[in-house]
A and B are shown apart, each in its own frame.
Chain A
């Protein structure tokens, strides 16, 4: 009887079949096509490390650039790359992409080139830090020059800063010892 009531009710209601135009609401948490912001990427490799199906890998053009590669055919859209990216360079878009095809090579493979920059001190090519990170680290301070440094020179600069700033607690005692 429950079934008879249900199906007669269905007869009076419009069909539940959805038309192509009647798309379900895409939730904001939807994990769609990947986007990569080369300006933020530090080529740290975390995304490639956490990608289970190995859809992401990096290639290097020594001294010139590092390239981030993504193949959608291997992607499982788990979103771990987005979750784990330290500089939020990867984002899974919530808007649904249209169907992709390989005709023009569009959409299936993504390549994003991160250009290396010469170090302003030693000239070694390196991946620059994202602008926002740099702003946070060197907030319009005296060490503005360090912005263009490579990681090695940053370590050197840090070391130099430490050396100049170092005021030993036991400077007096030490002096005393020297005196003796």
Chain B
């Protein structure tokens, strides 16, 4: 009973939905504001990401003709559920969920679910734009997952365990640095930011894979993206930032680290054009592969 409650609290309250959604909106607002200021613009008001979701919630849901209603509506729900569950596993300070052996594997799987949902959303939409976006998303995930997975697996290799707590407690060393760089390499593509905003290139394929989505289902996809941003930044902080014995200090450090990471990828996004799919793929398999190889080598050499 106690364990069930702790899971429920973790998914619904902290670090789950209740805190992650506002945090995600805050981070999205920060990115948009920073982009705007870098481009010499005013930028959106603080509550804009929240307003966006609320506006979508009040709008009509249009389901394209010939699309299975069940899967069309289920995809955004699954996407939100998966990222929230993934976030609930991340051992942020105060997370009530007990650490499980092998939760890293679960986490990595859950993190792939939103991507899968997006790909499926594009394919079921019966829109050529959505289908091209889905294809791009799928191929891109093959590219960026190389450095992304290697960064986490290298840490697990060092820790000798596939348990999040163990990853967190690895003594700080060179592998941390190398793996962090490898992780950061994958981050812009995972967040669909420039120069890897290929699956959501509105000037090429009008929109991303949820082109046919509208109203509350689209709001759920947006919410899922917001939580994913929190998940990625906090995962980076938890795994690669050395922890202090004080949970509150840790929390502050993690949040600041998350914002800093976002600032970095935003800066990259504002100084670059969008690459082509083949170029992005080559980049990740050459430079991402190189970084992965070095990281893995470092775990062995240690």
List A residues at the B interface (Cβ < 8 Å). 3-4, 7-8, 10-11, 13, 15-17
Residues of B close to A11: CB separation below 8 A: 37-38
Q: Does B39 contact A (CB under 8 A)?
A: yes
CB of B189 to closest CB in A, whole Å: 20
A15 in contact with B42 given A4-B271, A7-B270, A7-B271 (CB within 8 Å): yes
Residues of B close to A4: CB separation below 8 A: 267, 271
Chain B: residues with Cβ within 8 Å of the partner, total of 11
Q: How far is the CA of A15 from the CA of B42 in the complex (A)?
A: 5
- What 0/1 pattern do residues 28 to 56 of B give for CB contact below 8 A with A? 00000000111111110000000000000
Q: How many pairs of residues, A versus B, come closer than 8 Å at their CB atoms?
A: 27
Q: How far is the CA of A8 from the CA of B267 in the complex (A)?
A: 9
Residues of A close to B38: CB separation below 8 A: 7-8, 10-11
Q: How far is the CA of A4 from the CA of B37 in the complex (A)?
A: 13
Complex contact A16–B40 (CB within 8 A): yes
Q: How far is the CA of A134 from the CA of B88 in the complex (A)?
A: 91
Q: How far is the CA of A15 from the CA of B40 in the complex (A)?
A: 5
Q: How far is the CA of A168 from the CA of B38 in the complex (A)?
A: 88
Complex contact B41–A15 (CB within 8 A): yes
- What 0/1 pattern do residues 247 to 280 of B give for CB contact below 8 A with A? 0000000000000000000010011000000000
Residues of B close to A8: CB separation below 8 A: 38
CB of A116 to closest CB in B, whole Å: 57
- Name 10 interchain pairs, CB-CB below 8 A, sorted by A: A3-B271, A7-B38, A7-B39, A7-B271, A10-B37, A10-B39, A13-B40, A15-B43, A16-B40, A16-B41
Residues of A close to B41: CB separation below 8 A: 15-17
Q: How far is the CA of A13 from the CA of B41 in the complex (A)?
A: 10
Which residue on A lies nearest to B268, using beta carbons?
A4
